[in-house]
Amino acid sequence: MKAFIYLPALLLLGPLAFSQALLKPIINQKAKAMESKTISWRRDFHEHPELGNNEIRTAGIIAAHLRSLGIEVQEKVAKTGVVGILKGAKPGPVVALRADMDGLPVTERGDLPFKSTVTTEYNGQKTGIMHACGHDSHMAILMSVAEILASEKANLAGTVKFIFQPAEEGVYGARGEKIVSGAELMVQEGVLENPKVDAIFGLHIMAEAATGTIQYRPGATMAAVDELDIQVKGKQAHGAYPWQGIDPIVISSQIILGLQTIVSRNVNLPEDPAIVTVGAIHSGIRYNIIPESASMIGTIRTFGTEQRKLVHQRITDIATNIAKSGGAVADVHIGTGYPATINDVNLVDKMLPSLIELNGRDKVFLKPAHTGAEDFSFFQEKIPGFFFFLGGRPLDKLNVPVASHHTPDFQIDESGFQLGVKALSHLVVDYFEQAMPVAKKSKK
Query: pLDDT tens, 158-214?
Result: 999 999 999 999 876 555 456 679 999 999 999 999 999 999 999 999 999 999 999
pLDDT over 90 for what percent of the chain?
A: 87
CA-wise closest residue to 314 among 294, 341, 343, 334: 334
| pTM of structure | 0.91
Least confident interval from 10-14, 65-69, 320-324, 385-389: 10-14
Report pLDDT digits (tens) over 5-22.
444 444 444 444 579 999
What does the pLDDT read at residue 123? 82
Greater model confidence, 3 or 327: 327
pLDDT score at 124: 86
**22-38: per-residue pLDDT in tens?**
999 999 999 999 999 99
3-state secondary structure the chain: CHHHCCHHHHHHCCCCCCCHHHHHHHHHHHHHHCHHHHHHHHHHHHHCCCCCCCCHHHHHHHHHHHHHCCCEEEEEECCCEEEEEEECCEEEEEEEEEEECCCECCCCCCCCCCCCCCEEEECCEEEECECCCCHHHHHHHHHHHHHHHHHCHHHCEEEEEEEEECCCCCECCCCCCCCECHHHHHHHCCCCCCCCCCEEEEEEEECCCCCCCEEECCEEEECEEEEEEEEEECECEECCCHHHCECHHHHHHHHHHHHHHHHHHHCCCCCCCEEEEEEEEEECCCCCEECCEEEEEEEEEECCHHHHHHHHHHHHHHHHHHHHHCCCEEEEEEEECCCCEEECHHHHHHHHHHHHHHHCHHHEEECCCECCCCCCHHHHCCCCEEEEEEECCCHHHCCCCCCCCCCCCCCCCHHHHHHHHHHHHHHHHHHHHHHCCHHHCCCC
Question: Residue 16: what pLDDT?
Answer: 47
Catalytic residues: 102, 168
Q: What is the mean pLDDT of residues 262-270?
A: 93
pLDDT at 39: 98
Residue 145 CB neighbour total at 10 angstroms: 25
HEC sequence for 38-69: HHHHHHHHHHCCCCCCCCHHHHHHHHHHHHHC
Euclidean distance between CA atoms 432 and 86, whole angstroms: 14
pLDDT for residue 207: 97
